[in-house]
Structures are given as structure tokens and as C-alpha cells.
Chains A and B, each alone.
Chain A
């Protein structure tokens, strides 16, 4: 008799446990944070158009292509409206990946390379490092456990715009260096 009561309670505990866990999972799944709303500034958009027009001043076609690739990278990784960081950056290239190709195509002097190298690195650190940091915050933002504290991705528009302009600064500096010539 006692055994039957224990068995009954075990079944009840199990059924209740299952319902609670499934309900918690469904709630967590619905609450999972997926998108962030980010917009580029008008100044950045105007600057980008200006730099795109200035591309025609580059005479060497290989060099022009190399700079165009950097501009395309900027456009491909630009946010406007609601964006999913995972979809955008999961297989994303770093701006550092364009360094060698640009240097080789544009036949830059060592001095110019020295200046632009630091610009490439600064640009990568200022924006891509932050995006990498966001990956982890994004991951932690999915509240899979009710005992785990969750973080929401903290990149707001201001932080995005400030750091985003580092890529544009690089493009501007590159065009300026190429304009000045050797």
C-alpha cells in the first residue's frame, strides 16, 4: 500500500516537473533576444557617397579595385533598421583582410604603408572588436536558464555610429594618401 502511494507521488512529481521545464523552455525561447535596431548616421552616408565619387580620382585600376572592395565591405556590413548580428557577422570578413591586397595593388611607399597599417588596425579594433564582444553578449542574452543572469547586447546607436565611422576614416585616409601620390 505504502509502495503504491510512493509510486503515485513519483509519477505526479515527474509529470509536474515535465510541464514546468517545457513551459520554462517555451517562455525562454519566446523571450530570446534576436534583433537589434541600428542605423547609420546621415553624416556617414554623405561621407560614403563623397568617398565613392572620389574613387574616380584613383588612376591605377588595380588600386581602384582594391579600394572599391573596402567600400563594398563597408556597405555590406552596414546596419539600417532591425538587424540580426548573427546573420550579418557570422561569416563576416575583417577589414584587416584587405590590408595586404591594398598595399600590393597600390604600390605604396613604406612610410604610407606605416601610416595606413595603423589606420587598418585602429579601424578593426574600434569596430570589429566590439562586434566580437557583442557575439558573447548576444549568446548570453538568450535566457536558457532561470538561474543564469542575462545580458542584453549593449551596442546602442551612439556607440555604433562612433565606432562605425572608424571604417570610413580609413577609406578617407586611403583616398587622401593615394591623391597625394608618392
Chain B
């Protein structure tokens, strides 16, 4: 398996992990307002979610058309997946300490989505240009 193919697999694996996190968050979502004051679902979180959906669509469409990736670093999606899993494990540990469940999942998803935005921008920048056919 070459580097670029592995990058693609890892990219879609990170999409899967992010989607799983969002589903987990939606299913087990806590009250949106804590104690009437603390807003858990921030505007930035929703905005980041929408931006990421658009970026994934752009990457998929562009890669579908050009079918070419430039030089990529497979450490990027790998570190993103690792980061997401560590954050989720730590959120789970926090969850055991708290009375209102799933507060930290809601809070830290913003950090995960920010990192995912960076990964998406990197991936879109990595899509190669279509080669022009040389005239004989």
C-alpha cells in the first residue's frame, strides 16, 4: 500500500471517528444550558460542524475529479485520530467525576472539530492539479 492510498484510508477513518463522536454527542447530549447560565453547545461548535461537512464534500468531489494527491504526511490523520481518541477517553474519565453527565464531551468537541478543520484544509491543499495532455 503506498503512502497516498494509506493517507486516503486514514482520512476517511478520521471522518468516521468524527462522525461517531458527533452521533455519540447527539444521542447522549446533556442539557444545552447548565444551571441556566452555562451554554454547552457553542455557536463555534455548530459553525465548525457545518464548515467541516462542506470541506469533506469539497475534498471528495475534487479528489473524485482529479484523482491525484500531492506529497502527503500520513502522520497528520494518524495524530488526529489518536488525539480524538485520547480526548474522548479523558472525557469519559471526567464524566465519572461529575454529576451532570456528558458535559465534557460537549465542551471538548469544539477542540476536536477545530483540529479536524485543519486536517480538511491540509487534505484539500494536497489534491494535485490535473495534468494537461501534451500535444504531439
Contacts and interface: CB of A to CB of B under 8 A. Distances in A.
A14 B90 contact: no
Interface in A73-92: 86, 90
Interface in B85-135: 86-87, 90, 93-94, 97-100, 103-104, 107-108, 111, 114-115, 118-119, 121-122, 125-126
A14 B97 contact: no
Interface size class of A (residues with CB under 8 A): 20 to 34
B71 interface: yes
A34 B79 CA distance: 32
A158 interface: no
Contacts of B71: 4
Among A3, A22, A90: residue with most chain B CB under 10 A: A22
A6 B104 CA distance: 32
Contact of B90 (A10, A22, A139, A145): A22
Contacts of B108: 21, 25
A86 B108 CA distance: 23
A11 B121 CA distance: 10
A29 B93 contact: yes
A161 B33 CA distance: 33
B76 interface: yes
Contacts of A34: 97
B115 A144 contact: no
A11 B115 contact: no
B98 A139 contact: yes
Contacts of B115: 14, 17-18
A139 B82 CA distance: 28
A9 to B, nearest CB: 10
A144 B73 contact: no
